[in-house]
Amino acid sequence: MISPRVLVDLSQFIAFPAASGVQRVLLHVLEGLRRSPLDAYVGVLRGECVDVVHLDAAASAIGEVFAAPRPLDGRRALVNSRFREAKLFDCRPGEIDLLFDAYFLPEPTYVPQILAVAEALRDRAIIPVLLLAYDIIPISEPWLLHGRHQMRTDGYFRLLASAENVAYISAQVGRDIETRLRRGAVTNGVILPLGADGLGRTRQRQAPLQPMFVTIGTVEPRKNIPMLLEAMRTLWAGGGQHRLTLIGAPGREGDAFLDEFRKIAATDSRVTWFEAGDDDLVKRTVEGATALVFASEHEGFGLPPLEALSLGVPVIAAAQLPALEGLSAGGQVRLPEMTPQALAEALTDIAVPRVNRALRRQIDSLDLPVWRDFYEAMSSWVANTIHQAPVEAALCRRQ
């Protein structure tokens, strides 16, 4: 039996090889397809042609992005070089639905040329067009982004609103798309929760003697890093020597705060900022923390708290975080409202050794999602979507 051929469009990643949560998910998308019976390839739009790259080579190149900290230009040069070396052949965008059985766009894109390819394939309706959706924050909470960036997202969200094959990284994303973007159900929608075990699964019975908190994420308004710093200052004003480690690239928080935080990290031994870091650094830092603090209230999922729990470390997070939906509350301090005062109180409480030990014991009973389930659910969804495609489409391809 011939395996269905799937083209995974990574043109957005080549154009802007960020090293954030979305790109980490891309690695798992490729790993899931690699383990599946599907015959998957990666496509990269270059001008009027699409370079087709072997799946393993693409995964290796993305892995290199996370293997060592590099500036954006360095990452772009690296992945372009690796993808060019691994090119198998090229085709025109209009030939994609002649060569492949499905087209999969696993990353949001705001590049008009990439959107045009996806829209043309959708309109011809010869092969299924599949999307992986992370959130609709640019249009549901536009105040969290600069207006110029928010306007650039319109094309992608129009595509998402018209797509009939959409996977959501959380139930909340599905609800947002169907009630706020489409105002109707997606014909072939599926929830694919992300795995908690990307950094491993361990038990951390003892908190550090000196309280240390870690937070992970790009420094942008929705992450509430200024609020967390204010809460830490409350602890310091009371004589506490609690430490704070931030792992995350500078984002759209504003130059004034970024400069302030850099200055604090350079002059105050209680504060550390890693503007870039590989998985080893993240794992080592989280394992050595009293707790992971995730102050964001606006997420499509919110993976860092789950990864911390998988490493046996308690977390402080917003009660409405999509990643926590359906998960029992063991090992967690869930805040109904994220304020500096609520954060300061939670930080104080979770640093008490007796409380911290109790939370760590509770983590053992959690049924955390794993990436293996994501791989299996995603590959089944893709395969079933291909098999359920109308017979007329297959006949059209043969003609």
Average per-residue pLDDT for the chain: 92
Same domain, 181 and 289: no
Rounded average pLDDT over 274-296: 94
Work out the pLDDT band at 247, boundaries 50, 70, 90.
Answer: very high
Give per-residue pLDDT as tens, 61-84: 888 888 777 888 888 999 999 999
Same domain, 376 and 259: no
Specify whether the CB–CB gap between 33 and 6 falls below 8 A.
yes
Is residue 82 situated within a structural domain? yes
Same domain, 20 and 70: yes
Same domain, 54 and 78: yes
Structural domain count, the chain? 2
Range of the domain at 68: 5-194+372-398
pLDDT at 149 over 60: no
Is residue 156 situated within a structural domain? yes
pLDDT at 148 over 70: no
Helix (H, G, I), strand (E, B) or coil at 80: helix
Is residue 80 situated within a structural domain? yes
Same domain, 153 and 255: no
340-350 and 225-237 are packed helices; what angle lies between their axes, rounded to 10 degrees?
60
Instruction: Please choose, from the candidates 274, 247, 194, the residue with its C-alpha nearest in 3D space to the C-alpha of residue 27.
Output: 194
What is the structure's pLDDT at 252? 86
Helices and strands (DSSP H and E) totals, the chain: 18, 14
Same domain, 155 and 216: no
Q: What is the CATH number of the domain that holds 285?
A: 3.40.50.2000
What is the structure's pLDDT at 145? 73
Is residue 206 situated within a structural domain? no
Same domain, 46 and 178: yes
Same domain, 187 and 39: yes
Specify whether the CB–CB gap between 70 and 78 falls below 8 A.
yes
Rounded average pLDDT over 221-229: 96
The residue count for the chain: 399
pLDDT at 97 over 60: yes
Same domain, 130 and 227: no
pLDDT at 11 over 70: yes
Work out the pLDDT band at 54, boundaries 50, 70, 90.
Answer: very high
Give per-residue pLDDT as tens, 312-331: 999 999 999 999 999 999 99
What is the structure's pLDDT at 398? 44
Give per-residue pLDDT as tens, 326-339: 999 999 999 999 99
Same domain, 186 and 98: yes
Same domain, 264 and 336: yes
Rounded average pLDDT over 157-163: 94
